[in-house]
Each structure stands twice: as structure tokens, then as C-alpha cells.
Chains A and B, each alone.
Chain A
Amino acid sequence: MPPDATQSRHMPGSVAVFGGGTVACLTTVALARALPRTRVTLVTPPGGSCNPTALADLAHTTWPGLARLHERIGIAEDDILRRASGSHCLGLRYANWRTDGAEWIIGHGAASPSGPGIAAALARAGRFALPDGQPGSPLAGLDYTLRFDPRAYRAGLRSIANRLGTTMAEGRPAAASHNETGAITQVILDTGAQIAADLFIDATGPGAGLIALAGQPQWIDWQDHLPVNRLLPAKDLARPGLSMLDRFEACREGWLWTSPGRDGTRTGLAYNASLTSDAEAADALLGHTGASPGEVIAITPGRLEKAFTGNVIALGDAAAQFEPIGWCNLHLAVRAIELLLEILPGLPIDTLEQYEFNRRWALLADRTRDFLAAHYTARPAFAAPFWQAAARLKHSPELILTLREFARRSRLPVFEEESLSRDAWLQLLAGNGTPAGMAPRKLAMGHAAREKERADEDRRVAAALHAAAPYPNWLANRLGAPSS
């Protein structure tokens, strides 16, 4: 063996996370767990408030990946159910997107080779069961996600961060001092206080107030790919509900979301400001849902070219902004936090490691964008400027390949990073009416074998329905059980 030249790199002695929302709090807990010897500081806007235009922070639900992160960083589902009005959600329901008016569902977990997956079938019946890892169980491929009250959820995360010894500070980044390599040594807050750290996380939402101090970040515009640039949430929550599905309904102006939860039902309108004025949007929201309009949120669809610049890493809306179909905004942030945990930068920061983070994050972000863009290959029955514009949107080469392969033989090409699951992609493309060819192997199976596959699936669905309980009963049971 050669003489051993391995030199240890250092862990950051201190990390400062900026932002008051879900993304900042999740990142703080994740880092405090991963780096027990590092001083972690959470710097929130005054009063611990959250940027009201950061969609990843506003999100009250997202994709199942959040549960994986929870498990990894020690956040108990029970706490979310009990303290943050948590409830379970099995998928997304889409209405009015197709010319024929047919609805479709993206159920969480495995898509079935024929017909809807288990999650979709349970959701339709309003039933729920936890996934069962035993192979052969009808609930084996099932997955779910949580809904929660973001404010209570954040408060829970902050109290965990507190317990882990996180230092709390308040203020907004105003200026920064740099060392000779250009890295930020300390951030000066608008209160005059100074926050020194080896590594900074910018989870401040749109505008990325912190990473802007690290250099001149390049923004990649997605306006040619995604049509929505305004959101109008309802002013108030509608009455609570326990539906197993979030609803996304196409309308002339764009689309509406309706997401029931135990603390109330969230609803709102997504549209394009150049085609629909804010006043028209308010009328449309009232007309479609009967809800009074809240505060308009402007979105600039796009992402940072490099989320990791100098010694600052941007996460959440600071790094990428896009319309919240399925609240992928929080999902991308979750994937970025996982990537951060995988490639936790040692000191001195290595440019190659930084390059790896940026390369992989960019692939995740672009694939998330393509997943949203793929929704717009659907054509609603009504003609409206929004949908005419949507029909002219640009597709990335990866999305073109995806759509083409699906149309030719129901195949999904593999890409180096995938943000949403293949099952979600399959259900989206099958659901939104993308013409689907049959895979050669499946075609070769013959009619009888395909019928048998369908019958097997029907049996699995029936067994799953049998094993599940009506969700209100299931939840009451769970909440009635002693806290674990």
C-alpha cells in the first residue's frame, strides 16, 4: 500500500439557515441531526413569519417523498396528525383537462399495468389503509402523502430544531462580508446584527435575498415552458373535509385547486397575468368556487442556474419557482434537502462537489418542470386564450423523448435524475390523454394473457378495498389510539 495521504476535510463549524417557512425549518432540522457538532442558526424574518409568496412554504401537502425525509430526520407522523391537523391523501384528481371531459387520477405508489392503481381505487371509495411491505399483500405497492396546516407544521419543526440546540435569530439579510475567496464570512441583518457561519442556506423564498449577496446568480427562465404566472388563493379556508384526493380542475382562465384538510379546505386559481387581469381572476374565483379572493401571488417560472454558489445554497422558492400543480414546489425542496444530506459539503468547499450538487439539482428541477409541462398536452373542451397559449408551450428535448416513447410504446425513457416517480409519470400521461402505444412485449402477450393481468389486478383492488376502512373511521381510530 502507498503511504496514506488521506487528509480529513472539516465539517462546517457553523451553518446559518435563512428563512421562516417550511423549507428553512426542515433544512434546519435535517442539518442539526446530520451535524451534531455544528452550530446551526435559524434566521427568520421578524416574528418568525414566512414569506407569503414562497409556494414551497405555503404548501400544505406534497408528494410521498416528504414522509421518507421525515423518517430520516426524526419527525413523527403522529405529531403531524395530532398537532398540525394532519390527514392522509392518496393522490391527485384532475377534472376538465380533457376534451372528452373525462377525469383522471394520479394515485400515490405503484401504477397498475392495467387500469387504476391501488391508491386511486381506495381514494375513489374514500377508504384508506397503510401500505403493507409484505410482498404479495394487496397493499404492497400503496403509498400516501400527508396534508397539514403549514403554520402548525412549521411550529412543530421549530420546536424540534430548538430541542436539537439550534440558535434562533430574527432579521433579514441586508449585506455581507466576504473573505479573499469570495465566500461569505458573515451576513449583516437589517437589524444590524451579524450572523457569521461557514455555510449559508438561502430559504428566503422568491428573490433569494441571501444568494444575491454571494454573487450574481443567473436565472433560467421557464415562461416558455409553463403558462401560469399568477395565483389567487381564496381569502379564507372553506369548511374542513377528509377527501383522499386533491383536486385540480381546468377552467377557462387556467386551473383551480381544491384541497380538503382537517383545518379547512384550501382553494385558489392559477392563471396567466397577461391573459387574465387580477380583477378578472377575482371574479373567476368567485364564479367557480364562491370564494372571496385573497392576496395575489406573482410567480416568475424558472430556476437558478446554480443553486449552490460560493458558500450559499438556495433551496425552495429561492432556487426555483413554478406553478403549484401537486405542490411539487415542496417536493423539489425535499429532494434538494436529500441531495444536500447526500453531498454535505465539507470545508474547504470543493468546486467539483459543488458542481455535482448543481448538476444533479438542475436535473431534478428540470424534470419537475417537465412533469408540470406534460400536464398541458391535455386539451380541455373549451377554447380559451390560456389553453391556446398552453398548446404552444415549448417542450424540452427530454420531454419530447418522453412523450414520443410513451405514444409509440407506453415506454418511459430513463433519465439520470427523476424528480417524480415513474408511476406518477405513467398515470399522468395515460390520464391526460397522451396517445399510448402498447409495449411490444405486452402486445405479444396476447388478448387472453392481458385479460388475465386485468383480472388479477381487479382481484388485488378488491382485496385492497376489503383490507381498507372508510377514512373518517380509520383516522378516528388512529387519533383515538394512544400517542406512540
Chain B
Amino acid sequence: MIASQGPTGMKPVRVVIAGGGTAGWMTAAALSSQLASLVDVHLVESAEIGIVGVGEATIPHMREFLGTLGISERAFMAATGATYKLGIRFEDFGAIGECYTHPFGSFGRELDGLGFHHFHLRARREGLAAPLDAFSLPVRAAMLGRFAPPAGHPLTLEGGYGYAYHFDAARLAPFLRTFAESHGVKRTEGRITEVQRNSLTGDVTALRLEDGTVISGDLFVDCSGFRSLLLGETMASEWEDWSRWLACDRAAALPCAAQGTVIEPQTRAIAMTAGWRWRIPLRGRVGNGYVYSSAHLTDDEACAQILASAGAKPLADPRVLRFRAGRRRKSWVRNVVGIGLASGFLEPLESTSIYLAQIAIARLADLFPVNGIEDADRDEFNRLVDLEYDRIRDFLILHYHATRRSDSPFWQDMRAMAVPDSLTGALELWRRTARIAPHAQGLFHEPSWIAVLLGQGIVPEGYDPRADIAAAGSLERAMGGLAKEIDRLARAMPAHDEVLRQQETAHAA
């Protein structure tokens, strides 16, 4: 029985990580620090294989990841040139000229257990309320270019939101490498030329490098990116293709110089004729990129369009990245676990790629096979990872499908596509009753769905009739008062770039 034993005397599980990008070093850092003497972590990476160095946007869970590792926000932000993020501003998605923000937080306040949006739907019908944006502190703050971390009880306006970071992705892996190596992670530089397997069990036993070095292990984590060397190539874990719903398969990335001093505390996502483009404000520069469907746009056109629309001085030529939406049917096969792009890919529209790596790492640590791998471990891991992918997938599809745009073949296709049954059900429930079915696991809860659904013009036919109880006058006063209070709180926050400047000064001192 495990319970009666301490780690002393147990042989550490030899974990070999193939690939040293963001996912690889996140895995190395987390496993080495959290599982300590239970593991012996060895990471193999090759300098020949570059890192995709575009600006990276995250969601608030990133803070949890740093917290678990005991890394301070200050240290992380200084090392990666990070800025704060309060949400994503979506432009031209529902229709050209329309925009909305998906903030890290909910809108308004619940009243007698009834969600704010029901009251807002009523007020909207009666022409009594400001747009939904006015009822979110992070949205107001982001629009004003201001930032302050949440303070106080989570049920108050001041304490009821979250935040995340934009950072320079090329600098995260080296930062985590230092951390991981200080926790005993070994690193070997070299190209993997052979994957050795046990002929009876099919388990991977070792990786052989170009220079002849052989690295053997008990558990192999595939962080080799799109190549999926161990999970895809060696284990032949089948690919489940989702491109029929998520058509974008290319990105033209373009780093630009910053303009002026204002650093927006939000990501911008601007719909284009064959996809959308991101704008990620970092310190000293701005990440830009056009995510598009190659069936609807050539690479040259995409590069020309991002150069034309970025509106700032490019720091390099546009670089085209290729990908496809989908996931491996199984993320854990035999003794190989895929983490990050090796296990699947969902485009960056909601900044979820680091989260997907993070959640897979956390589940692996939860289910870590201390005394040998059992089928049940793999099944549970795969069930949990699938759940995360499925939930994000539907939410992303929503952004494309919930549109009235017909200005280009791409948007016409998006509007007309048949979406997964799970999304059809959610849309129908929303349209008829203004309800979002809750879920206990996975990302994107009611406030997120409300932001995108209403933001893209899916106004429900009905709402909870309890919202009709209050007299119109008092509803209008309450709504007006709330919007005013939120505006006041937002204006009391310091400017985002001022917060960052003070951080830099403190760091230098």
C-alpha cells in the first residue's frame, strides 16, 4: 500500500521530456517542483528547432500555475516582459462595426439569485440600460487603459474579476528552464534520431540522440510540438480533425514597434475577411498576426494584409505559421503523454494554448503513476483532457458561427456551417430561455458565454420572468447607479503603463 510508505526508498520515476519549448519547460518546472523526489526529470531539446516567438496572451489560470510553482508575479513579469490583461476586445465578429469585450469577470450583480443578464435583457427591451460593457469593471478599466489587481471579497465589484498576462513567449521557456534546473531537472541538447521501444509491451524505453547518447526513462512526455514525435509518430495516436468547424489553419505573425506610451491592458481580436488578427501589447512592442483559412486566402495576401492593417512599424518580416485544429484521440498512450501542441491544437482566439498545456500538466501530476501505470490512469487522464478540449472547441466555434457577416466567402461559410450537437443544444437553450447550462469542469462558464453571445448579437427570445418583477423606474435607477459606480471605480485605477513603469523602477532599484 502506498499510504504506508514515504518516498524514501522508492525509486524515482524517470520522466523524459522530448522538446524544450513552452510546454516542455512548463512540464519540467511543474513536475520537478511538485513531485520532488518522486521524479527524476530529464529534458531533451534541440537548438535547431526554434520556438514560435510571437507575443503570447494568457488567461487568469496562468497565475495559478505560477503560484503553484512559488514564482512571484514580479519575477515572472520582469523576465518575460509581461503586461497585464483584463480581457479580449472583439471587433467586427458579429457584424462589421460591432465590438464587445470578453472580460475576466461577470457582468453586473446577481439579484435574489437571478443572473444580471436577465435584468439587462429586460432593460434592453425597454430601452432603459446602457450596453452590457458598462456593467463590467474590467471592461471599463481596459477601455480607459487602466489597471489595478482585484482587491477585496470576490463578491464585490472591486474583488470580482480576474486578470492575466501578455508576455514575450520566447522568454518564458528560458525563465522556466532556470527554475527547473534549480529543482534538479537535467537537460541534454541534441536531436532525437531514434525512439527505442520494448518489443513486448510497446512502451518507449529510450530516446537516442544524433551524437549517440541514449536517454532511457519510465515515462515519456511528448512536448515536440506539431510534429508529435512520440505520441503521433511512434504511438500513432489517431488525429481527430476539427477543421470542418475551425477553418483557420495559418497565421502570419508580425512583431511591431510600440506606438506612444499607452499599453492597453487587453488583447484585441479584429475579424478580417478570411479570419481575424490579434494585437497583443507587450512592453516596448506590439505582437500582431493574422489567423486565416488557407482555403480562403493565400499566404502572400495574408502577409500583405497584416502589414497594411497593423498600423505600426514592423520589426521583422511577417512569418507564416501552419497548424490545424484538432486533437489526438488519446493524449496518453502506453507510457507516452502528449502535452501542448503534441496532443492537440486550438487556435489562439481565446488565448487557451498555454492553459491546455497547464491543465494537462496538472492532471498528470494529480494522476502521476508512482507505482507503475494502470489503464485506469490513462483513461482518467484522457477523459479529463478531452473534456477541456471539447468545451474550448465549442466556445471557439461560437465566435465564428454567431455572425451576421456575409461580406466574404469565409464568413458566409462560417455562418452556414453545421456546428457540433453540443453547441447546437447550448445555442437553442440560450435563444429560448437566456440560460447557460453550468458545468463543473473545464473552461468558459456562464459569464464568458453571455459576453460572446450578446456581444455577437444572439439575443434570446425569452429571459427569466422574475426580471419583470421590479418597477421600470427602480430598475433604471439601479442600472444607472451600477454603471456609474463601475465607471467611478475604473477611473480611480492607475493607468496601466504607469503601473508597469513603477514595476520596472522598483525592479531596477
- Listed in ascending order, the chain A residues whose CB lies under 8 Å from chain B are 1-2, 4-11, 34-37, 72, 341-344, 346-347, 350, 352-353, 356, 359, 401, 404-405, 408-409, 411, 413-418, 435-441, 443-447
B2:A8 contact, CB within 8 angstroms: no
A35:B38 contact, CB within 8 angstroms: no
A444:B461 contact, CB within 8 angstroms: no
Of the candidates A2, A36, A350, A404, the one whose C-beta lies within 8 Å of that of B376 is A404
Q: Which of B426-434, B479-487, B501-509 contacts A (4 or more CB under 8 A)?
A: B426-434
Contact string, B444-467, partner A, CB cutoff 8 A, digits 1/0?
Answer: 000000000000010111111110
Of the candidates A35, A341, A346, the one whose C-beta lies within 8 Å of that of B433 is A346
Q: Which residues of A contact B432 (CB under 8 A)?
A: 350, 352-353
B35:A6 contact, CB within 8 angstroms: no
Dominant SS among interface residues on chain A: loop
Q: CA of A437 to CA of B367 in the docked complex: distance in angstroms? A: 11
Q: Which residues of B contact A435 (CB under 8 A)?
A: 1, 3
Q: Which residues of B contact A5 (CB under 8 A)?
A: 459, 461
Closest chain-B Cβ to A132's Cβ sits at a distance in Å of 15
Q: Which residues of A contact B462 (CB under 8 A)?
A: 6-9, 346, 350
Q: Which residues of B contact A444 (CB under 8 A)?
A: 7, 34-38
A6:B124 contact, CB within 8 angstroms: yes
Contact A6/B125 with A437-B1, A440-B366, A444-B36 known, Cβ cut-off 8 Å: yes
Contact A414/B441 with A441-B34, A446-B6 known, Cβ cut-off 8 Å: yes
B460:A352 contact, CB within 8 angstroms: no
Closest to B428 in A: A352
B7:A443 contact, CB within 8 angstroms: yes
Closest to B376 in A: A404
B428:A440 contact, CB within 8 angstroms: no
B48 located at the interface, meaning its Cβ lies under 8 Å from any Cβ of chain A in the complex: no
Q: CA of A211 to CA of B242 in the docked complex: distance in angstroms? A: 44
Closest to A441 in B: B34
Closest chain-A Cβ to B88's Cβ sits at a distance in Å of 20
Q: Which residues of A contact B35 (CB under 8 A)?
A: 440-441, 444
B368:A440 contact, CB within 8 angstroms: yes
Of the candidates B6, B367, B429, B441, the one whose C-beta lies within 8 Å of that of A447 is B6
Task: State which residues 238-284 of B face A: CB under 8 Å.
Answer: none
B113 located at the interface, meaning its Cβ lies under 8 Å from any Cβ of chain A in the complex: yes
B376:A409 contact, CB within 8 angstroms: no
Q: Which residues of A contact B124 (CB under 8 A)?
A: 4, 6
Which 5 residue pairs spanning A and B have beta carbons closest together? A440-B368, A11-B465, A9-B462, A346-B465, A444-B36
Q: Which residues of B contact A441 (CB under 8 A)?
A: 34-35, 365-366
A2:B365 contact, CB within 8 angstroms: no
| 21 A-B residue pairs with CB within 8 Å | A1-B457, A4-B125, A5-B461, A9-B465, A35-B466, A37-B469, A341-B113, A352-B425, A353-B432, A356-B429, A408-B376, A408-B377, A409-B367, A413-B380, A435-B1, A437-B2, A440-B370, A443-B6, A444-B34, A446-B7, A446-B37
A408:B374 contact, CB within 8 angstroms: yes
Q: Which residues of B contact A4 (CB under 8 A)?
A: 124-125, 459
Q: Which residues of A contact B367 (CB under 8 A)?
A: 409, 411, 440
Closest to B8 in A: A447
Q: Which residues of B contact A342 (CB under 8 A)?
A: 113
A416:B469 contact, CB within 8 angstroms: no
Q: Which residues of A contact B465 (CB under 8 A)?
A: 8-11, 344, 346-347
Q: CA of A417 to CA of B441 in the docked complex: distance in angstroms? A: 10
Of the candidates B3, B404, B425, B469, the one whose C-beta lies within 8 Å of that of A437 is B3
B121 located at the interface, meaning its Cβ lies under 8 Å from any Cβ of chain A in the complex: yes
Q: CA of A340 to CA of B435 in the docked complex: distance in angstroms? A: 14
